[in-house]
Structure 1
Amino acid sequence: MKRTATIWGMAAVLLVLPGLAGCGRTEAEPSSAVSPAPPAASPDAEKEAKFEPENLAALFLQGKIKEIYSRFSPEFKKDVSLEQLSELAGDFNKDVRAYKLQSKLPLGDGDRYVWTDESGQKGLTAAIDGKGVIQGLQFVPLKTYPASDEAFSRAEFSLPFRGEWTVFWGGTNVLLNYHYEHESQRYAYDLVQIKGTSSYTGDPGKLESYYAYNQEVTAPAPGIVKAVENGRPDNPIGQTDEKNPAGNHVIIDHGSGEYSFLAHFKKGTITVKPGDKIERGQLLGRVGNSGNTSEPHIHFHVADGTDLFGSKSVRIRFEGGAAPKQGDVLKGVR
């Protein structure tokens, strides 16, 4: 995956961060996950030694720009100057009293962090490796949709899996959930299995290396199967099927005009057919890599219709009032 930096008219500094694109990768390519450590000798050496990634947003708000910049990777420094970062900080921090950490997600050798201000209108995200090197930093004005954010589904849903999974994309802003800017999938979830800091073991070029691959996908609520696609091949790692974004999928009618979409199944593993009445927790099929995805995972969202792009996403009301977001580790119990 390409890792480049750019300036967005002083509205944001961006290093392209790895992620489940279109649904995509959950981490950087192993060979590019870590850059050389920052210079050891500097006037701020003592401060640098005490650097805690979780405190980056607080340092940013305090105006400690030189300290932050000293943690940039050499590659990032080539694209973003200290002067540019300082100018951006002055503009972006206006009227901000505090930033709150919203998410910490394992990312190769390090983690991806997301903070938002108290109003929810400004957000920061950073990719920081295990040595404390800042690989990417992005400042984004956030648009929110409070009316639909507070309009939950009538049906109550369970998690569509067994065992332990991590929310890679999920939440109510674009930094936590890239789907959020698209009305048709605003409240969608992309779910992966992560052990330690990785979603795979062994050769990342093999589907079988990914913990999520071939795991069971279960019905999140009772309903009637509306549509099924079961014949699309899994993409080899590094390829996607943009013409058939959902790949192998199941659409379930839960009544009251609400439909769940579960996508990216492994070819031939779906066990239900249109018209079947299903129960909560029933096996639907197994995780694959079909459709517009470059890594095995579960895509799950609820909408007011069966058209993937023409329907409106509905925020999911989970059992027990849970509101999962990026970085949360969830355990299916059924």
Structure 2
Amino acid sequence: MAAGAPPPGQAGREVVLALPFTGLWLARNSPARRVPSHGTDLMGERYAIDFVGVDERGRSAGDRDWRTVLATEPPERYFGFGRAILAPADGVVVAAHDGEPDHAGRRSQLALVPYMLGQAGRLRQGMRAIAGNHVVIELRESGTYAALVHLRAGSLRVAAGTPVTAGQQLAECGNSGNSTQPHVHLQVMDSADLSVARGVPMTFRHFRERPRGAAAFSIRQTGMPGEGAVIAPLPTA
């Protein structure tokens, strides 16, 4: 089997999830743009997607000063930092890790240079340095595993063995691990072990989407948000 291919029984079958938040978020590194979505099949990332909390104007942060251009910024400046992260489906938590620090945010291209130079060192440090604070859920219906990554330090509300239902708060959006600004990274995998997992295709249900460059939202009953789209879940009955 080719590296990163869907595991047996998953080929051609997408796992359907609820979006793991409320409010407005920007889709980044979407598998609607390319697969592998993050440029690698490692760590189950083949079909992963990132969501960045934004305001009505699609901005990830409001305040701008000299730090925005030349340096790092406190994570609290970003709209997504501290927003509730929810379970995307029913299941049982099989792994939960907390205790990794939230980093400063980096909108500055100058500040991104030393960060990128440190990428190899983070890889050597292992999974905690990459994923940061995270939760892995065994999904009840599909038997696959969903990972929610880069969570806020000290915000986890669940532990291994905790049963969860779709929409239940797991933690808060943070900037831990391999992250340059607060966001949540979501992926579905064939294993709970991020170091060996292979990615599984997924799709989302019941959301509104404003594609990049569009003025209005459209309703999508199921689908994968496009790259650069602003999205929000539809209210549930």
- Normalising by the residue count of structure 1, what TM-score does the alignment of the two structures yield? 0.51
CA distance in 1, matches of 2:103, 2:37: 22
Opposite residue 317 of structure 1, the aligned amino acid is T
Single out whichever of 304-313 and 294-303 deviates more from structure 2: 304-313
Runs in 1 of length 4+ with deviation above 4 angstroms?
145-150, 238-241
Name the CA shift for 1:180/1:321 in 2 (closer, same or farther; >3 Å): farther
Matches within 5 A, 1:305-324: 305-319=191-205, 320-324=221-225
CA distance in 2, matches of 1:267, 1:235: 10
Equivalence for 1:187 = 47
Please report how far the alpha carbon of residue 197 of structure 1 lies from its aligned counterpart in structure 2 after TM superposition. Answer: 5.1
Q: Give the aligned length.
A: 188
Question: Aligned Cα RMSD in Å?
Answer: 2.6
Is contact 1:180–1:187 with CA below 8 Å preserved after alignment? no
Equivalence for 1:208 = 76
Name the CA shift for 1:167/1:177 in 2 (closer, same or farther; >3 Å): farther
Matches within 5 A, 1:1-334: 151-153=12-14, 155-174=15-34, 178-182=37-41, 184-195=44-55, 196=57, 198-203=59-64, 204=68, 205-238=73-106, 242=122, 243=125, 244-255=129-140, 256-319=142-205, 320-332=221-233, 333=235
Is contact 1:169–1:325 with CA below 8 Å preserved after alignment? no
Name the CA shift for 1:329/1:152 in 2 (closer, same or farther; >3 Å): farther
* Higher RCO (CA 8 Å, separation ≥ 6 residues): 2
The structure whose Rg is larger is 1
Opposite residue 230 of structure 1, the aligned amino acid is D
Q: What do residues 54-103 of structure 1 show as CA deviations (whole Å, max 9, x unaligned)? A: xxxxxxxxxxxxxxxxxxxxxxxxxxxxxxxxxxxxxxxxxxxxxxxxxx
Please report how far the alpha carbon of residue 323 of structure 1 lies from its aligned counterpart in structure 2 after TM superposition. Answer: 2.1
Opposite residue 188 of structure 2, the aligned amino acid is V
Structure 2, gaps ≥5 residues long:
107-114, 206-220
CA distance in 1, matches of 2:78, 2:36: 22
SS in structure 2 of the partner of residue 285 of structure 1: strand
Name the CA shift for 1:197/1:257 in 2 (closer, same or farther; >3 Å): closer
Q: What do residues 163-209 of structure 1 show as CA deviations (whole Å, max 9, x unaligned)? A: 111101102454x8741542521110110123325311114412111
CA distance in 2, matches of 1:197, 1:164: 8
CA distance in 1, matches of 2:143, 2:60: 35
SS in structure 2 of the partner of residue 208 of structure 1: helix
- Normalising by the residue count of structure 2, what TM-score does the alignment of the two structures yield? 0.71
Please report how far the alpha carbon of residue 257 of structure 1 lies from its aligned counterpart in structure 2 after TM superposition. Answer: 3.3
